[in-house]
Amino acid sequence: MQKTFRTDDDAYEFYKNFGRYHGFGVRKGDSRRDDDGNVRRRRFFCNKEGLRDPKHYNRLDRMRVHKPETRTNCKAKFSIHLDKSASIWRVRKINNNHNHELTPQVMVHLIPKYRSLTEGAKAQIDGFRECGISTAKTMRYMAGLAGGYSLVGFLKKDAYNYIDKQRREQIVDGDAESAIAYLEGKAEADPMLMARYNLTDDRMLANMFWADGGSRLDYQYFGDVLAFDSTYKKKARFNRWLYADIAVNEFLTEWSQAVEEFSLQDSLWANQVFGKKEMWANAYLRDKFCAGIRTTSRCEGINSVAKNFLQSKHGMLELVQNLELMVRDYRNNELLVQFRSIDSVPVMTTSLESLERCAASVYTHAIFGDVRNEIVGVASVNLVRLQRSLTTKIYTMDEYGQPGREIVVLYDKNMGRMKCGCNFWNKYGYPCKHMFFVMKHEHLPNIPNRLVLKRWTKNAKALEAYEEKIDVGADQACLLHHGALHSACHWLFFLGSQKYDLFQMAMKGIRNLCAHLEGYVATEDNVFSTKGDGVIRDPVAVRTKGAPKSRNCRGRKRRCTECRNPGHTKRRYPRKKTSHGMEMEDGCTTGFDSDALEEIKMFNHMEEVS
């Protein structure tokens, strides 16, 4: 390769762009210097070069699980040397043979080497943080300006790391000292703020209590409240029926015992709940696939995220736009998890290494953690007896600590079928420890394909589905241009805000540029209406659940006891004189039939009009 470079930094930038295009990260390697200390040779490696130090696998003080491995001892490299005669760097050797799969283009921006926070981005994050805006919202804002998460240049985790670093620098004198200094500063603006603290003999902060003026006023008005949970230690048994993996006969026995213990034979609520046991008791749901959703925690988790985007005062357009932002956030998280699943390999920790490695290569990291727990649970399974019926083997086993509870597993080697009586696979979609016990007994190196549910695998979703779809319509193009200009000005904002003279210089340049651009922009406003013949009206507002606000709780209007109409009472009941000199009550009959009464009303109305 006859490629030349002016400096070794230019060569490094070239190899970075080369790796970004082909889907791998790079890092600087070793170098060789001459007698004068000048660099003569330099090598750049793939980011998966080398292996993890073996000492990290055998640490006795390990508290956390192993991080997934990202290095594969890849031999791909790029070597350059300095040509002194021409004072240029030439390519000495290049090896582009990787021993791992290259990262797809839709995920290249997630490689750590291609992620960095510019000074402008740091300044913007600091500004949002000072205003109390969360990092997640700041990340969504910057992604909207850039045109997508893939164009931001860094991940949300990188922003959190930067903020954490800034936080540590702010408390360099100590967290307690910084907290006390902050309270002292708040006390100058809030005279009612009260703070008390005491120190130990070593002058360490022992206790601290503080309350601002608003809190002290609230205490004066309302006092304090101490609440007790009346259901404490009384719902453990009910939780067992909801979540524990028990059989139907066990559930019925325990329910009967609870009814006798708490005298619930005549309880209407208990009888109604028992009548719906097939809908809530886990014993009746063991063969129903729930995808791991056993409680409302998943829905509550989604609601906790959605409430950051949605409010009752939002209109339909805002609802659609905010839901789109939430979905985009979810999709980015999914892309990041998928990238970690295909870019790294979990560390094998069980004795059934072949089965564990097969599970790690098939399942995503999240599901693999649950599958590995089932592999570990094989140690608690005991074989009671083994029978054969034609081509099917019948395994009868029990678990340690539960000798009387037998579980049957059917295995057909010819068909590759396996069925467990615990119905774990039917409910969760991956093999249970009883199935892994049979695999171990049969010396199976891999998990049978019939037991692998595609939705839990790494290939459950095509890579094209992860690519961000960007609408480049007229309005969207204008928004993207606005975001690109805003991103390009980050460094200008940072430099111009350092000193007052730099600020004046930046403002003068911005004014001159705006005046220059205004000459090219048409001043005509193209106002048009998009409303056609078929006007779509707003939907009827649906009343939300829960108690209404007090200002909406208006009592019913008082009605007349004679005509049942609001606006007057019986004492002030309006009466009219008919043309015959008789009193007539509005809304009531006076001896006339309905037809005659209508004629009289019409006649009176005609007289009033005339």
The last residue of one of the domains, among 102, 120, 142, is: 102
The last residue of one of the domains, among 81, 102, 123, is: 102
**402: in domain:** yes
In this structure, are residues 506 and 492 in contact, taking their beta carbons and an 8 Å threshold? yes
**219: in domain:** no
The last residue of one of the domains, among 49, 78, 102, is: 102
Q: Does one domain contain both 349 and 453?
A: yes
pLDDT at site 229: 40
Tokens of 26: 């790079």
The residue with greater pLDDT, 598 or 323, is 323
Q: Does one domain contain both 288 and 388?
A: no
In this structure, are residues 92 and 79 in contact, taking their beta carbons and an 8 Å threshold? yes
Q: Per-residue pLDDT averaged across 3-21, rounded?
A: 90
pLDDT at site 434: 94
Q: Per-residue pLDDT averaged across 538-548, rounded?
A: 52
In this structure, are residues 89 and 4 in contact, taking their beta carbons and an 8 Å threshold? yes
Residue 243's closest CA among 295, 314, 178, 191? 295
pLDDT at site 64: 85
**390: in domain:** yes
**570: in domain:** no
pLDDT bracket for residue 290 (50, 70, 90) = low
Half-sphere CA count of 418, side-chain side, radius 13 A: 26
Domain count, the chain: 5
pLDDT bracket for residue 553 (50, 70, 90) = low
Q: Does one domain contain both 438 and 355?
A: yes
**595: in domain:** yes
Contact partners, residue 357, CB within 8 Å, separation at least 6? 348
- State the DSSP code for 346: P
Cα–Cα distance between 385 and 380 in angstroms, integer? 16
Rg over alpha carbons for the chain, rounded to the nearest Å, is: 37
Least confident of 80-94, 310-324, 359-373, 544-558: 544-558
pLDDT bracket for residue 271 (50, 70, 90) = confident
β-sheet with 392-399: strand ranges across: 381-389, 392-399, 402-412, 417-420
Q: Per-residue pLDDT averaged across 92-114, rounded?
A: 91
Residue with tokens 């949605």: 310
Max mean pLDDT range (373-382, 422-431, 454-463): 373-382
pLDDT at site 419: 92
| DSSP β-bridge partners for residue 82 | 89
For residue 476, pLDDT beyond 80: no
Tokens of 559: 């009605």
Q: Does one domain contain both 410 and 506?
A: no
Backbone angles phi, psi at 495, to 5 degrees: -70, -40
Q: Does one domain contain both 354 and 452?
A: yes
Least confident of 103-117, 293-307, 534-548: 534-548
In this structure, are residues 511 and 496 in contact, taking their beta carbons and an 8 Å threshold? no
Q: Does one domain contain both 493 and 594?
A: no
**62: in domain:** yes
- Max Cα separation, the chain? 131
The residue with greater pLDDT, 152 or 311, is 152
What is the model's pTM?
Answer: 0.59
In this structure, are residues 13 and 47 in contact, taking their beta carbons and an 8 Å threshold? no
**442: in domain:** yes
Cα–Cα distance between 269 and 588 in angstroms, integer? 50
Q: Per-residue pLDDT averaged across 154-163, rounded?
A: 91
pLDDT at site 534: 40
CA-CA distances (angstroms) from residue 369 to 203, 276, 449, 456? 46, 34, 19, 12
For residue 373, pLDDT beyond 90: yes
Q: Does one domain contain both 454 and 368?
A: yes
What is the identity of the amino acid at 604? N
Residue 183's closest CA among 212, 203, 207? 212
The residue with greater pLDDT, 206 or 551, is 206
Mean pLDDT of the chain: 76
Q: Does one domain contain both 365 and 437?
A: yes
**333: in domain:** no
The residue with greater pLDDT, 145 or 381, is 381
Cα–Cα distance between 576 and 600 in angstroms, integer? 11
Q: Per-residue pLDDT averaged across 389-418, rounded?
A: 90
Q: Does one domain contain both 454 and 352?
A: yes
- State the DSSP code for 555: P
Q: Per-residue pLDDT averaged across 237-245, rounded?
A: 68
pLDDT at site 269: 78
pLDDT at site 317: 54
Tokens of 521: 């922009």
Instruction: Identify the domain containing residue 39 by its residue range.
Output: 4-102
For residue 146, pLDDT beyond 80: yes
Cα–Cα distance between 80 and 116 in angstroms, integer? 26
pLDDT at site 288: 66
| DSSP β-bridge partners for residue 417 | 412
What is the identity of the amino acid at 198? N
The residue with greater pLDDT, 535 or 8, is 8
